[in-house]
Amino acid sequence: MEQRSFGHSARVSVLGVGCSRVASINNPVPTREVEATLEAAVEAGVNLFDTADIYGQGDSERTLSRLLIRHRERMFVVTKVGGRHGRHAGIIRLAKPLLRKLIRSRPRLRSAVVKARTATVSHRFRPLDLRCAVEGSRRRLGLDQLDGLLLHSPSLETLHDPAIRDFLEELLHTGWAKQVGVSVESLAEVEAALLMPAITILQMPLAVANELSGTDLIEHVRRRNIGVFVREVLSGLIPGAYSLRGAVSAAIAPDFVTAALIGVSTRRHLNELLSAIS
């Protein structure tokens, strides 16, 4: 599979696996099938995996850690910090098998469960909290040094905070992360993130990447060799092999885009994506 370079001598596959639903309560696919799909992705040449400390109450990172034991040299894992579960996250995690069974037997419960889970998530970007979060991700992933560490959807105010700039630089100096960056939601946040010298990764919705291509900011991205990972590639896509191929091809076509992140839970979906970029 084609790979593209960015940052400090990093190379990733143009297709990356988004792992937000790995070990999620809302994912009806059995855990064994999800893990087999991730294994198949590695064997197919996918090396980029995107997760976060809050995905699956930390179980997304734990699942990837088992894959890393077998394929460390073939994987580039990006995780995100800044989100924070409420005090009942541990109970939710323990009750996950039962909740999945209830959701499968009563589909109407799914929206209620997702709403309740979302309501427990808040954001906290104080450097002390972020350091603890990074330590937690390193522990769950089983890595002394993270491949990539992103701030998870920080506000514009957070991005303009000098303490956050210093925190990202600290991660590089201490060796806790090889590459650092920001997961953004808007073009204004891209502009604010680019003011921080340490960043080498920007993750953003495809719609924001399309806006970025028509601005002067794109030259900053190119000059600094910042990796641009686009998400929400298939939003609103009409089902069909041709439309899938067109969407994925269009997402990775710009020279400033490093990779497209797409959530995958089944081998059938993975095979469709692999066919779309072949």
Q: Are 237 and 262 in contact (CB under 8 A)?
A: no
Q: What DSSP designation does 239 have?
A: S
| pLDDT score recorded for residue 83 | 86
Residue where the block lists tokens 């469960």: 113
What token pair was written down for 17? 């696996």
pLDDT of amino acid 89: 58
Please tell me the distance from the alpha carbon of residue 260 to that of residue 266, in angstroms, as a whole number.
18
Tell me the pairing of strands 83-84 and 76-81. Answer: unpaired
Task: For residue 238, give every residue at least 6 positions away whose Cβ sits within 8 Å of its Cβ, in sequence order, or none.
Answer: none
pLDDT of 9 strictly over 80 = yes
Which pLDDT does position 159 carry in this prediction?
Answer: 97
Average pLDDT, rounded, for the chain = 89
Least confident of 152-166, 227-241, 242-256, 260-274: 227-241
Has residue 160 got a pLDDT over 60? yes
Task: Please give the pLDDT value at position 19.
Answer: 94
Output the pLDDT for position 233. Answer: 94
**Sequence spans of domains, the chain:** 3-85+121-277
What mean pLDDT do residues 23-33 have? 78
pLDDT tens-place string over residues 201-232: 999 999 999 999 989 999 999 999 999 999 99
Q: Rg of the chain over CA atoms, in angstroms?
A: 18
Dmax over Cα atoms in the chain, in whole Å? Answer: 53
* Rounded percentage of the chain residues whose pLDDT exceeds 70: 84
Select the more confidently predicted residue: 237 or 170.
Answer: 170
pLDDT, position 5: 97
Instruction: Tell me the pTM.
Output: 0.88
For 36-91, the pLDDT digits (tens) are 999 999 999 999 999 999 998 889 999 999 999 999 999 999 999 998 765 655 55
Give mean pLDDT, residues 11-34: 87
**CA distances (Å), origin 32, targets 22, 29, 35:** 11, 8, 5
Distance between CA atoms of residues 67 and 141, nearest Å: 10
What's the CATH number of domain 3-85+121-277, 3.60.21.10, 3.40.50.300, 3.40.50.11540, 3.20.20.100?
Answer: 3.20.20.100
